[in-house]
Each structure stands twice: as C-alpha cells, then as structure tokens.
C-alpha cells in the first residue's frame, strides 16, 4: 500500500516538473531562440526532460518514464516509445555538441573578437539579466506592478534585439553593410 502511495506521489511531483518545463517552452523568447537554433522543438523538449526534470526531481527517472511524459509531435497527447525518446535525445545531443564545436572553432580562429559578434554578446548579457530578474522575482511571495513592468521591458528589449539579429546583415562586416 505504501509503495502504491509513494508511486502516485512520485508521479505527481514529476508531473509538476513537466508542467513547468512545458510552460518554459511556450515563452516568447524561448520560441524565437529555438526557431533560430539547430534543435527542433521535440529535441529541445526531450533534452529538457532528460536533463532538467531529472535534476529537479533529485532521483533517476527511467527512460520509459521520461518517454511517457514527452509530448507527441502535433498532438496534445503525451508519451512516446522509449526508442523514439532515445533517438530524439541522441539527435539533440549531437546537435548541441556540433554547436559547441562551431563555437570553439570560431574562438580558435579569433572570430568572436570581431565587432560583428557584439550584438550577440549584448543579447546574451540581456538574457542573463532577464534570468536573474526572474530568479529574484520567483522568490517573492507577491509581485508589484514595478516588478511585472521590469520583466516586460526586459522581455521586449530581448525580443527586439533577437529580431535585429535575424536580419541578413547581422553577420556582415561594416564594410559589407555600407556596400548594400
């Protein structure tokens, strides 16, 4: 009997973590970042389930359980096969690793030192600020109008900066931009 209650309690806790992860996937900043990334929405959700939910849960979660909480593409239904979950997780890990190798390559070549990367640095700094603001506000029991406005202003700024980064001129030198 205790084992059954324990299992139900564990599922409830896991469901709460999953709900939080799904809310994050709906945020406007995350949606734009995901669209510009090499991760599909399914790969991102799978990676979040694998890394964040298990870490927050504080115990190992089997791949069968992880697969059961992942959304099915194009539906509101939950649960995929363990094989599908693992294949998607492998693809996500490979894509993330390739991104890191690209960043390391650009660092090795000294390209991050060029001014064309400054806007990306600015967005990264603003995202860091946004995360810190949200962490501080998450600890408050009640939010003021000023708190909410601070989040909204920072969010709008980041969205605007991301929109500018998506323009074709974002990765061109000043000389190239002047010619166009």
What pLDDT score does 3 carry? 47
Instruction: Return the percent helix, strand and coil in the chain, to nearest 5.
Output: 80, 0, 20
Report the pLDDT averaged over residues 32-57: 90
Q: Is residue 162 pLDDT above 90, yes or no?
A: yes
Query: How far is the first Cα of the chain from the last one, in angstroms, to the nearest whole number?
Result: 73
For residue 159, the 8-state DSSP code is H
Q: Residue 173: how many CA atoms within 13 Å on its side-chain side?
A: 5
Q: Is residue 7 pLDDT above 60, yes or no?
A: no
106: nearest Cα among 93, 95, 117, 121: 117
Prediction pTM value: 0.78
């Amino acid at each position: 009997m205790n084992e059954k209650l324990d299992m139900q309690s564990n599922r409830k806790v896991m469901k709460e973590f999953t709900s939080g992860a799904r809310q994050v996937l709906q945020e406007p900043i995350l949606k734009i970042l995901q669209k510009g990334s090499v991760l599909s929405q399914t790969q991102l959700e799978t990676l979040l389930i694998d890394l964040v939910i298990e870490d927050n849960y504080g115990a190992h979660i089997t791949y069968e359980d992880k697969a059961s909480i992942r959304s099915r593409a194009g539906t509101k239904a939950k649960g995929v096969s363990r094989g599908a979950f693992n294949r998607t997780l492998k693809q996500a890990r490979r894509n993330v690793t390739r991104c890191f190798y690209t960043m390391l390559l650009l660092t090795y070549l000294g390209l991050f030192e060029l001014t064309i990367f400054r806007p990306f640095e600015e967005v990264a700094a603003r995202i860091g600020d946004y995360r810190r603001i949200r962490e501080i506000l998450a600890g408050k029991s009640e939010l003021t109008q000023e708190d909410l406005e601070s989040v909204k202003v920072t969010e709008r700024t980041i969205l605007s900066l991301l929109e500018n980064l998506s323009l074709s001129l974002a990765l061109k030198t000043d000389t190239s931009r002047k010619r166009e």
